[in-house]
Amino acid sequence: MSCIEPKKLSKHERYVLLLSRIVESEYDEVLLNVPIYSRRRRLVGEIDLVGIKDGTYDIFEVKCSHRIMKAKRQLEKIRNHMRGYHVRDTFFFCGASRSLICV
């Protein structure tokens, strides 16, 4: 009888899970890998982590290395797609240095 081996998580997935454990106590709900769709129902991106507290949303972008400019561009794109929601803050999490920066 053969066993099914569990899928090994990528470095990025491990950092997303690490961040979720760090921030989960601050929010009513934490969502991971949330897809973003355009008005034409096309997939345009994915939010690494969304923290929901009292009807407001905090958006987190996770990078394995310190690439804050790319994260800033992605967070701006996400904010534009979430105009109908109350997005409070956006954050960049660098997995390599374990630093969390409000952008």
Q: What is the pLDDT of residues 28-41, one digit of tens each?
A: 999 999 999 988 99
CB-CB contact of 63 with 98 (8 Å): no
**Per-residue confidence at 2, pLDDT binned at 50, 70, 90?**
low
* Largest Cα span, the chain: 52
pLDDT at 1 over 80: no
**Residue 37 tokens, joined:** 């769709």
**CATH number corresponding to 11-102:** 3.40.1350.10
81 pLDDT above the threshold of 90:
no
Least confident of 25-29, 57-61, 67-71, 80-84: 80-84
User: Taking the domains of the chain in order of start, what are their residue ranges?
Assistant: 11-102
Report the C-alpha gap between 83 and 69 in whole angstroms. Answer: 22
- Kindly tell me the burial class for residue 76, based on how many C-beta atoms sit within 10 Å of its own C-beta (0-12, 13-18, 19 or more): exposed
Compute the average pLDDT of residues 54-78: 93
Beta strands 87-94 and 99-102, pairing class: antiparallel
